[in-house]
């Protein structure tokens, strides 16, 4: 494994760990969601790294290229395809989460998950 | 007709998009939705068993390694897929039928979500590609959140966000596991990965392989609502409209079995895999039924019972023999039908009383005898009373655990069934048999006929599968034999 890959893998691991910490331990829902995005991007970075090839070419077979040379030098295309889809899904879930947060912020006027996402049975007692 | 295989996903997906576009034309939307929903259970019945290669890319031979690999996404359609996709299609039809008859003005986005969820679980069931499964797993999570948020029940947004946050942590973790498998095998096709593992091309004791199991397993726990996600799963059932909850639980069961069957094909050679499944399944059985005992909201009570039943499915699969896996999958089919019947039945009661607290109900037998009788049979089926379908699958599970040399698991399964029976009888007595409270007004409140119809259809299936279990178990056993 070459140095670039090791550095990128360590970056992705750092993103995932920071994201997990933020998503689990921080009370503010927006910071939680930023943490979740960190996890997603860390995983995407990890998968992209799998397709990296030092000195490789873009995995598109152009006219005139020798297929054998192309097969030996092209970067693996599958991880890129997967990550592209994963980014789209991540954006969709992010949008839905933020939309829900907007609705709940208007209701509670706070971003604290302790208030916003408190156990519903306790909330009913609180409301009473 | 193998061409019908991709249509099982494409039809609900296109219908979902079209419905959200044409929803301002109420009558057209209603007719179109009804026709599409009617097609959903028919397509798997009409389709032949076989494989569908997207883009026409059939398996190819790698001339360097001499291994056959799949260059494109593959859908595999066997008896197992037919029976589960048929069941979820039928359920979607019944839920859509209830919805269309309940509301004069339909909501395009809500119908969009119902069809989107159906398309997602169908794709999860069909696909032989682990990343494709993950994509639809995410789409399913979005549809589930939407169905919960779209209900008019208090705190549904809160529950939807909670589920979404947990899901958004669980999904990338699962994707990381898929990434590790990709790194080890260079493929995301399940057959290719399984071949690589069984041919010894992957070291099954390597930390990376074990880590991939742990990460995908975590995602599976979230998808299945097994502990530690049992509370949130029962929570989303209780915050959805009852007919929506009936569909949501079927989504859970199908995503559970589709992911676990993929994991089984890849990780079956690891003894720890089966131990993990059995451990979490037993935990789900105990926690599900124990928490159900303490509930006064009957939607939440069914939610926890459903989680307990999921434990039975996992138990069968975790024991790992042909007979036990067949029993587990048969239990999954029964759970889909019986729990849907319970959710729709109790939904009918909510419709008639506007009350979900069992302590405030009573005397409903005299006012809604049809619902009372059908719910009684459904509850007995869930508890495993003969000759209903739940009895057959639970009997098979008890026999399977005995034949695997685990009599203590058999005893536990029987005890959990008895506890389920107690929970149901307690709730049933409180709601239907106890004298009616004075402040409960039941005069002139009818149960919608569509709900009665849906319950009757599901009840017929419960009784038929109870009397003729071979209709399902024979084909499932052949499928399991093929995998093993």
Delimit the domains of chain B by residue range.
Answer: 1-168+228-258, 270-484
Position A1 pLDDT exceeds 70: no
pLDDT score recorded for residue A60: 87
The whole model's pTM is what? 0.94
Domain A2-54+75-127 has CATH 1.10.1370.30: no
Is the model's pLDDT at A96 over the cut of 90?
Answer: yes
pLDDT of residue B398: 95
Percentage of chain A lying above the pLDDT 90 cut: 58
In this prediction, residue B68 carries a pLDDT of 83
What are the residue ranges spanned by the domains of chain A?
2-54+75-127
% of chain B with per-residue pLDDT over 90? 73
SS (H, E, C) chain B: CCCHHHHHHHHHHHHHHHHHHHCCCHHHHHHHHHHHHHHHHHHHHHCCCEEEEHHHCCCEECCCCCCEECCCCEEEECHHHHHHHHHHHHHHHHHHHHHHHHCCCCCHHHHHHHHHHHHHHHHHHHECEHHHHHHHHHHHHHHHHHHHHCCCCCCHHHHHHHHHHHHHHHHHHHHHHHHHHHHHHCCCEHHHHHHHHHCCCCCCCCHHHHHHHHHHHHHHHHHHCCCCCHHHHHHHHHCCCHHHHHHHHHHHHHHHHHHHHHHHHHHCCCHHHHHHHHHHHHHHHHHHHHHHHCCCEHHHHHHHHHHHHHHHHHHHHHHCCHHHHHHHHHHHHHHHHHHHHHHHHHHHHHHHHCCCEHHHCCCHHHHCHHHHHHHHHHHHHHHCCCCCHHHHHHHHHHHHHHHCCCHHHHHHHHHHHHHHHHHHHHHHHHHHHCCCCCCCCCCCCCCCHHHHHHHHHHHHHHHHHHHCCHHHHHHHHHHHHHHC
B356 touching A (Cβ < 8 Å): no
Tell me how close the Cα of B474 comes to any Cα of chain A, in angstroms.
Answer: 38
Q: What is the pLDDT of residues B218-229, one digit of tens each?
A: 999 999 999 889
Q: What angle separates helix B389-403 from helix B322-353, to the nearest 10 degrees?
A: 150
Per-residue pLDDT tens over the stretch B307-338:
999 999 999 999 999 999 999 999 999 999 99
pLDDT > 80? residue B174: yes
pLDDT in tens, B276-292: 999 999 999 999 999 99
Tell which B residues from 175 to 204 touch A, by Cβ distance under 8 Å.
175-176, 179, 182-183, 186-188
Does residue A126 register a pLDDT over 50? no
Determine the pLDDT at residue B158: 92
Q: Is A103 in Cβ contact with B188 (below 8 Å)?
A: no
B65 CB-contact burial (10 Å; exposed 0-12 / middle 13-18 / buried 19+): exposed
End-to-end CA distance of chain B: 27
Q: Does B227 touch chain A (CB under 8 A)?
A: no
> Mean pLDDT across the stretch B191-211?
91
Q: What is the CA radius of gyration of chain A?
A: 21
If you average pLDDT over residues A42-48, what whole number do you get?
94
The yes-or-no verdict on residue B14 having pLDDT over 90 is yes
Q: Which of A28, A75, A82, A118 to mutate to test the interface with B (most CBs of B within 10 A)?
A: A82
Q: What is chain B's Cα-based Rg?
A: 22
The per-residue pLDDT of chain B, averaged, comes to 92
Report the percent of chain B where pLDDT is more than 70: 100
Asked whether residue A115 carries a pLDDT value surpassing 70, the answer given is: yes
pLDDT at A123: 56
pLDDT for A121 beyond 70: no
How close, in Å, is residue B131 to chain A by CA atoms? 7
Residue whose pair of structure tokens reads 């889909």 in the numeric block: B336
Whether B364 and B432 have beta carbons less than 8 Å apart is answered as yes
- List chain A residues with CB under 8 Å of B175: 43, 47, 86
Q: Looking at the complex, report in whole angstroms how far the Cα of residue B435 sits from the nearest Cα belonging to chain A.
A: 27
**Predicted local confidence at residue A124, as pLDDT:** 53
Average confidence (pLDDT) over B166-189? 93
A20 is written with which tokens? 């997990």
Return the H-helix or E-strand segment holding A79: helix A77-108
ipTM: 0.91
Residues 6+ apart with CB under 8 A from B279: none
User: What angle in degrees, to the nearest 10, is found between the helix axes of B108-126 and B79-102?
Assistant: 170
Specify the pLDDT at position B41: 95
Asked whether the predicted pLDDT for residue A122 surpasses 60, the reply is no
Q: Which residues of A touch B165 (CB under 8 A)?
A: 23, 29, 32-33, 36, 97, 117
Query: pLDDT category, A128, cuts 50, 70, 90?
Result: very low
User: How far off is chain B from A43, nearest CA to CA, in Å?
Assistant: 6
pLDDT surpasses 50 at B92: yes
Phi, psi of A74 (to 5 degrees): -75, 145
Give residue-wise pLDDT tens across range B359-378: 888 888 888 999 999 999 99
- Determine the pLDDT at residue B1: 56
Lowest mean pLDDT among A96-110, B90-104, B438-452: B438-452
CA distance A14 to chain B (A): 14
Q: Which residue of B has its CA nearest to A32?
A: B165
Mean pLDDT for B291-295 is 90
Which of B158, B212, B232 best tests the A interface by mutation, with the highest count of A CBs <10 A?
Answer: B158
| DSSP character at residue A61 | -
């Amino acid at each position: 494994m070459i140095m670039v890959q090791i550095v990128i893998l360590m970056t992705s691991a750092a993103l995932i760990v920071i994201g997990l910490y933020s998503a689990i331990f921080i009370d503010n829902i927006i910071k939680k969601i930023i943490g979740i995005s960190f996890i997603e991007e860390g995983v995407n970075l990890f998968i992209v790294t799998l397709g990296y090839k030092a000195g490789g070419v873009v995995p598109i077979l152009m006219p005139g290229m020798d297929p054998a040379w192309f097969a030996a030098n092209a970067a693996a295309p599958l991880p890129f395809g997967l990550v592209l889809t994963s980014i789209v899904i991540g954006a969709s879930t992010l949008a839905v989460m933020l939309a829900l947060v907007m609705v709940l912020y208007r209701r509670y006027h706070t971003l604290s998950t302790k208030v916003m996402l408190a156990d519903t049975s306790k909330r009913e007692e609180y409301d009473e | 007709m193998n061409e019908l295989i991709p249509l099982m996903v494409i039809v609900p997906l296109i219908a979902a998009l079209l419905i959200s576009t044409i929803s301002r034309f109420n009558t057209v939307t209603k007719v179109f939705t009804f026709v599409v929903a009617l097609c959903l259970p028919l397509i798997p019945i009409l389709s032949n068993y076989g494989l569908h290669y997207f883009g026409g890319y059939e398996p190819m031979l790698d001339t360097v390694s001499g291994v056959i690999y799949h260059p494109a996404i593959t859908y595999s359609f066997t008896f197992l897929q037919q029976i589960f996709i048929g069941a979820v299609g039928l359920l979607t039809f019944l839920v859509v039928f209830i919805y269309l008859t309940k509301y004069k003005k339909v909501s395009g986005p809500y119908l969009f979500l119902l069809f989107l969820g159906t398309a997602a679980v169908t794709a999860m069931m069909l696909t032989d590609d682990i990343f494709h499964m993950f994509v639809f797993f995410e789409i399913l999570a979005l549809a589930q959140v939407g169905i919960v948020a779209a209900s008019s029940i208090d705190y549904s947004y809160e529950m939807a966000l909670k589920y979404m946050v947990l899901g958004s942590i669980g999904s990338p973790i699962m994707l990381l596991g898929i990434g590790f498998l990709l790194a080890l095998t260079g493929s995301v096709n399940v057959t290719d990965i399984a071949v690589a593992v069984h041919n010894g091309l992957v070291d099954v004791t390597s930390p990376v392989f074990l880590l991939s199991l742990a990460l995908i397993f975590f995602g599976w726990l979230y998808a299945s609502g097994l502990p530690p996600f049992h509370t949130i799963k029962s929570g989303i059932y209780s915050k959805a409209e009852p007919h929506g909850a009936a569909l949501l639980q079927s989504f859970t069961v199908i995503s559970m079995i589709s992911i676990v069957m993929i994991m089984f094909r890849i990780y079956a050679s690891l003894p720890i895999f089966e131990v993990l499944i059995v451990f979490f399944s037993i935990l789900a059985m105990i926690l599900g039924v124990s928490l159900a005992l303490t509930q006064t909201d009957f939607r939440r009570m069914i939610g926890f019972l459903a989680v307990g039943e999921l434990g039975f499915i996992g138990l069968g699969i975790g024991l790992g023999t042909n007979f036990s896996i067949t029993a587990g999958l048969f239990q999954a089919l029964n759970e889909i039908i019986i729990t849907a019947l319970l959710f729709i039945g109790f939904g009918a009661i909510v419709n008639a009383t506007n009350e979900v607290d069992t302590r405030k109900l009573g005397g409903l037998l005299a006012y809604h005898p049809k619902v009372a009788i059908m719910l009684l049979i459904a509850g007995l089926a869930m508890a495993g009373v003969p000759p209903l379908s739940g009895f057959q699958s639970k009997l098979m599970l008890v026999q399977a655990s005995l034949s695997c040399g685990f009599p203590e698991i058999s005893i536990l399964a029987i005890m959990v069934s008895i506890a389920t029976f107690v929970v149901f009888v307690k709730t049933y007595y409180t709601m239907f048999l106890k004298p009616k409270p004075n402040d409960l007004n039941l005069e002139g409140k009818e149960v919608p006929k569509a709900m009665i119809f849906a319950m009757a259809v599901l009840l017929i299936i419960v009784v038929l599968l109870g009397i003729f279990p071979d209709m399902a178990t024979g084909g499932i056993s052949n499928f399991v034999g093929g995998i093993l």
